Amino acid sequence: MPALINLIPVDTKIDFMKRRVPALILSVVLVLGAITSLAVQHLNFGIDFSGGILVEARMPEEPDMADLRARLNTLGLGAVSLTHIGDDARDVMIRVQQPDDTTEEQENAALEAIQGVLDAGVDYRRVELVGPKVGGELIEAGIWAVSLSILAIVLYIWFRFEWQFAIGAMVALIHDVVVTLGVFSVLRLEFDLTTVAALLTLAGYSINDTVVVYDRVREKLRKYKRMPLVDLLNLALNRTLSRTILTSITTLVAVVALLAFGGEVLRNFSAALAFGIIIGTYSTIYVAVPILVYFDLRREAIAGEDSEKEEATGGAASGSDTPAAPMIEGADGFVPSPEPEADDGDDSAPSGGTGARSATTRAGNAGKRKPKGRGSRGARR
Amino acid sequence: MLYFAKWKIGLILAICLAGLFFSVPNALRGQADGLPSWWQPVTLGLDLQGGSYLLLEVETDAVVREQLEALVESARAELREARIRYVGLGVEAGAAVVTIPDAGQRTEAARLLRGLDSGGTDLTEGAEGRFSLTFQEQALIERRTQAVEQSIEIVRRRVDETGTREPTIQRQGDSRIIVELPGVDDPQRIKALIGRTAKLNFHLLDERVSPEDLAAGQMPPGTTVLPAAENNTDGPPRYAVRKRVEVSGDRLVDAQPNFQDNQPVVSFRFDTAGGQRFGRVTQGAVGQNLAIVLDGAVISAPVIREPILGGSGIISGSFSVQETQDLALLLRAGALPAPLTVLEERTVGPGLGADSIEAGALASLLGLLLVIVFMLATYGLFGAMAVVALVLNLFLLLGALSLLGATLTLPGIAGIVLTMGMAVDANVLIFERMREEARNGRTLMNCIETGFRQAFKAIVDANVTTLVAAALLFYFGSGPVKGFAVTLSIGVLASMFTAVMVTRLMVVVWLRRSRAKALPI
């Protein structure tokens, strides 16, 4: 059964890197815009962070909003907002944001007063009260969570790749988080605890995307030692493009289902994720990868792998039983076009007696070689 | 790579079957009570099943202040008994202070003051016989810890008395208590019950104080003004009460709502020691007023007509039946050592909870369907394998959550939906790699082999980063957000297993059966 459709063009040769300067300018503009908006109109904190009261109630019958508002205002609780919520006309949402110096006792009393105003027979669907102390702590915990997870992710990348990749990933992550925050600020979307969860998730998603491309960049770096870096990055991006798009689509499809049908409570969360997936995909292609050009990536990364490279090439060349793939990597004068894709002989160790044996020999000989697990894997099978 | 040992196949199948097995109770949610405790459906968070979450803080400062005041009262008694003249006895800036004017009596006074609180206090002597007594750091910590632990115990007793099903009460941090009440959609009564200190004390009124002095607030030492309680409508608004506690409510062993002359009252009974003490006090004070003080307000101050020797009595006031029930409950459960403040409350009614489950289920099914269609359309047969892996992944996730007793929250459902989108990522990576290898003219075996092996590194790196984010989310998040972190982590782990192991197994079986020569994607 063949694939029914082929959404993604194969063997693309898009010159992403040609657009890297305009793209970087766009990113800088986005980030600056986000920071400006955050500085000028801040975030629209939900009560999780600002402290306050939220009551979502289903009234026995459709309420007279003006009358209800008037009665709530007589309580003298500060900024009280009353809105309809959801599809049922009987559902109202009351939000109270009290001044910063409100004590927990006053807040609890305010909640009681509100519940006194709503008549009996009201079905409380949601009641939330967050004291000022807790609100402040939650902001702090949120900032810690986001910063530490960026740090932890960056450390992991550094450990698995080279430092240039770690910096690229960090810039991309900060870009994603700041721009998403900016969108929340510009659109005045409510920012609460679940939004922080969404931010962390999108950090995980965005880095996921970035890692896949970086992995390919590293692979190509080892393979094509002489290819100009820009061409090599283009090659890696094009090779992973179909996967990048496919995964973004499946995830986005799932998140849009959540956005459309997940209900009121998850709306901001899904919105942040949906936006985050788009910005995360963009940042992988136009921030995380292009930024590698500006570091002295090539020489250093290869310096670390040189010995392995030579040994590996030798071993694979003698032991390889893949007839269709000519060994061209490392050859002088290689044309930096993505085609034809060469056999990645350095670590392919194809199944079969010779391959396995050669892998064993290679692993045994590779004195200075960094253990990567590939050789031994080949040997086991 | 393309060979599977028999035991490995067995293990993979066993894990999948276990996932299915532990998911089954979720379909039998209605009869969950009849199922063994290790075979239960996943626990629903308060945001899904409805319920109330309260975060309370024990005001431990109040305990310390109170104990300092107790220290002052015993100092007063001791100094008086030893006939040592003192001035300026009181609490100042976290210390009990007193000045002994007569230099000759200072050594004796210091000895007395040191012995007041069985250790744990520091005595410093300042200029002109001014002594100050403070609690040692260690003693303070102990007292605070004790107050929090005691509070938890008492909150638990009170909540249990209300008949709430399966409440969770646990300590958070130094001085906080988390109370989770599933199924409670209006926690006002419970909040009121939990929030009250319910400290009951019996004091004598100070008859020496004239109504004028009372009005002016001029009190002799050792006497204080207390207001009337809300339901004390018959008596005066203020009372001059001797500070000394004659009998304290700690000595109560039982309290019940009752009726006297058709009025709702609370009857109580002391333990033996309390009963004897109560008898002695009432014997020595016939004709005087005994004030019944609850949380610093006088409920009533009846005249003692005769010694009360039976160890039981009655508290009357303008109570409603509900109030006597609550008061009796509070007295039975015991007093809180310190006031509690509600820092945070989150209540979800059963209606919204049910709506959320419905919305979550709809979004999940729709998301699943869209992803399935997409995978089938893009990868045909291999797409079908990925779909099987995805469905297995969901069962594994659900089974693991059920087995671990994890809590499923609304953000957790979002985590599941997100997992579905991301779970196929591993398969997409593998399949795309295979396609690529095929375009390079590799043999079928070679494509499949390389596809799995090359993609695996990227899959691991990509998923570990997601796990890192999820772990921090779990550490810093609270309630529903923690639930999200748990689902996301288990989902990622399960997806690595299904996408890599299970799909590979399916591909290998297919390869053997079909003897295909070309990649079908």
Q: What is the pLDDT of residue A369?
A: 43
Q: How far is A263 from chain B (nearest CA, A)?
A: 6
B344 contacts in chain A (CB < 8 Å): 129-131, 134
Beta bridge partners of B180: B53, B168
pTM above 0.80, yes or no: no
Over 50: is that where the pLDDT of B99 sits? Answer: yes
The token duo for B278 is 């109560």
**Could you tell me which residues come within 8 angstroms of residue A285 by beta carbon, excluding any fewer than 6 positions away?**
A16, A213, A237, A244
Contact B71, B96 (CB under 8 A): yes
d(CA B133, CA B110): 10
Determine, for residues A2 and B520 on separate chains, whether the beta-carbon distance falls below 8 Å: yes
Sheet strands (E) in chain A: 44-45, 52-58, 79-84, 91-97, 123-130, 190-191
Q: How far is B411 from chain A (nearest CA, A)?
A: 7
Average pLDDT over every residue of B200-222: 84
Using a CB–CB cutoff of 8 Å, tell me whether B348 touches chain A. Answer: yes
Determine, for residues A253 and B374 on separate chains, whether the beta-carbon distance falls below 8 Å: yes
Among chain A residues, the shortest Cα distance to B343 is held by A131
Among chain B residues, the shortest Cα distance to A342 is held by B440
Determine, for residues B465 and A340 on separate chains, whether the beta-carbon distance falls below 8 Å: no
Among chain A residues, the shortest Cα distance to B360 is held by A262
Average pLDDT over every residue of B498-503: 87
The token duo for A265 is 């409570």
Among chain B residues, the shortest Cα distance to A141 is held by B476
Determine, for residues B377 and A4 on separate chains, whether the beta-carbon distance falls below 8 Å: yes
CATH of domain B60-135: 3.30.1240
Q: In chain A, pLDDT over 90 holds for what percent of residues?
A: 12
Comparing CB atoms, the residue among B349, B380, B441 nearest residue A125 is B349
Average pLDDT over every residue of A131-160: 86
Q: In chain B, pLDDT over 90 holds for what percent of residues?
A: 9
d(CA B212, CA B200): 28
Using a CB–CB cutoff of 8 Å, tell me whether B417 touches chain A. Answer: yes
CB pairs under 8 A, 24+ apart, for B72-77? Answer: B72/B96, B73/B222, B73/B243, B73/B244, B74/B116, B75/B112, B75/B113, B75/B116, B75/B133, B76/B221, B76/B222
Determine, for residues B344 and A131 on separate chains, whether the beta-carbon distance falls below 8 Å: yes
Report helix, strand or coil for B230.
Answer: coil
Average pLDDT over every residue of B49-74: 86
What domains does chain A contain, in order, with CATH numbers?
Answer: 16-44+137-294 (1.20.1640.10), 52-130 (3.30.70.3400)
ipTM: 0.74
Contact B264, B324 (CB under 8 A): yes
Average pLDDT over every residue of B250-257: 86
> Across all residues in chain A, what is the average pLDDT?
75
A200 contacts in chain B (CB < 8 Å): 469-470, 472-473
Contact B85, B100 (CB under 8 A): yes
Confidence category of residue B119, pLDDT binned at 50, 70, 90: low
d(CA A168, CA A79): 44
Q: For domain B6-49+349-514, give the fold.
A: Multidrug efflux transporter AcrB transmembrane fold (1.20.1640)
Average pLDDT over every residue of A37-41: 92
* Burial bucket for residue A43 (CB in 10 Å: 0-12, 13-18, 19+): buried
Query: What strand order describes the sheet that includes B297-300?
Result: B247-248, B200-204, B290-294, B297-300
Contact B386, B499 (CB under 8 A): yes
Q: Where do the structural domains in chain B lie, given as residue ranges?
A: 6-49+349-514, 60-135, 141-344
Q: In chain A, pLDDT over 70 holds for what percent of residues?
A: 75
Comparing CA positions, the residue from B391, B264, B374, B247 lying closest to residue B316 is B264
Average pLDDT over every residue of B435-453: 86
| B 88-117 → A contacts, CB under 8 A | none
| B 419-458 → A contacts, CB under 8 A | 420-422, 424-425, 428-429, 432, 435-436, 439-443, 445-446, 449-450, 453-454, 457-458
Q: How far is B303 from chain A (nearest CA, A)?
A: 36
Q: What is the pLDDT of residue A364?
A: 41
Among chain A residues, the shortest Cα distance to B361 is held by A262
From residue A150, give the alpha-carbon distance in Å to each of A235, B330, B466, B469: 28, 49, 11, 8
Comparing CB atoms, the residue among B359, B376, B454 nearest residue A261 is B359
B461 contacts in chain A (CB < 8 Å): 156, 160, 211-212, 215
- CATH class of the structural domain B141-344: alpha beta
Determine, for residues A204 and B443 on separate chains, whether the beta-carbon distance falls below 8 Å: no
The token duo for B251 is 């000595």
Determine, for residues A251 and B454 on separate chains, whether the beta-carbon distance falls below 8 Å: no
Beta bridge partners of A191: A45
B499 contacts in chain A (CB < 8 Å): none
pLDDT digits (tens, 9 = 90+) for A254-296: 888 888 888 777 888 888 889 889 999 999 999 999 888 888 6
d(CA B432, CA B380): 13
pLDDT digits (tens, 9 = 90+) for B346-374: 999 888 888 888 888 888 898 899 889 98
The token duo for A28 is 């800088």
Average pLDDT over every residue of B19-33: 85
Q: How far is A258 from chain B (nearest CA, A)?
A: 5
Contact A290, A24 (CB under 8 A): yes
pLDDT digits (tens, 9 = 90+) for A287-337: 999 888 888 665 555 545 444 443 334 333 333 333 433 433 433 333 444
B381 contacts in chain A (CB < 8 Å): 1
Q: How far is B359 from chain A (nearest CA, A)?
A: 5
Q: How many CB pairs under 8 A join A and B?
A: 285
Peptide bond into A340 cis (omega under 30): yes
Using a CB–CB cutoff of 8 Å, tell me whether A115 touches chain B. Answer: yes
Q: Strand B263-270 and strand B43-44: pairing?
A: unpaired
Using a CB–CB cutoff of 8 Å, tell me whether A56 touches chain B. Answer: yes
Average pLDDT over every residue of B289-299: 88
d(CA B474, CA B400): 17
